[in-house]
């Protein structure tokens, strides 16, 4: 029984690592209050703008405003909680795109001395269909 469990756990770990989404790049971003981050998303012959900023940090919750492809949203992200990130689909799902490329924005920490929120952006883009270009922050 012990051998069976060891083999079973080894197989589960192997398959979970081999079939997990692999991100292509990670970006670390620090933003002050109401400082906007702009990223130009390019795929095929299209260009779309993704922007986000934070407006309030209180009781461990960070209010983030975002916009992509004429869709706006608001998220409250919290540290040490399952609600510390949001996902943005970068390309519409089509017949050839079952695994749509997406961007994951994760709230990592808040720097009280500088009054900055620190984020990590993960680009999940298995087929390298999308490129991201940083634009000047405002």
Strand-pairing partners, residue 52, are 37, 66
pLDDT tens sequence for the chain (138 residues):
667 667 666 656 555 544 445 556 678 999 999 999 999 988 888 899 999 999 999 988 999 999 998 899 999 999 887 889 999 988 877 656 567 888 999 999 999 999 999 999 998 877 667 778 888 765
- Domains of the chain (ranges; CATH) run 23-135 (2.60.98)
Are the beta carbons of 76 and 99 closer than 8 angstroms?
A: no
Q: Give the pTM.
A: 0.76
| 77-103 residues labelled b (16+ CB within 10 A) or e (exposed) | beeeeeeebbebebbeeeeeeeebbbb
The whole-number pLDDT of residue 136 equals 76
């Amino acid at each position: 029984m012990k051998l069976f469990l060891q083999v079973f756990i080894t197989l589960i770990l192997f398959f979970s690592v081999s079939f997990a989404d692999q991100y292509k790049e990670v970006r670390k971003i620090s933003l002050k209050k109401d400082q906007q981050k702009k990223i130009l998303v390019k795929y095929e012959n299209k260009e779309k703008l993704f922007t986000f900023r934070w407006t309030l940090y209180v009781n461990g919750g960070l209010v983030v405003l975002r916009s992509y492809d004429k869709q706006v949203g608001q998220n409250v992200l919290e540290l040490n909680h399952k609600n510390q990130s949001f996902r943005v689909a970068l390309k519409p799902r089509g017949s050839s795109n079952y695994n749509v490329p997406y961007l994951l924005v994760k709230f990592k920490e808040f720097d009280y001395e500088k009054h900055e929120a620190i984020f990590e952006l993960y680009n999940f883009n298995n087929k390298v269909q999308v490129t991201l270009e940083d634009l000047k922050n405002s």
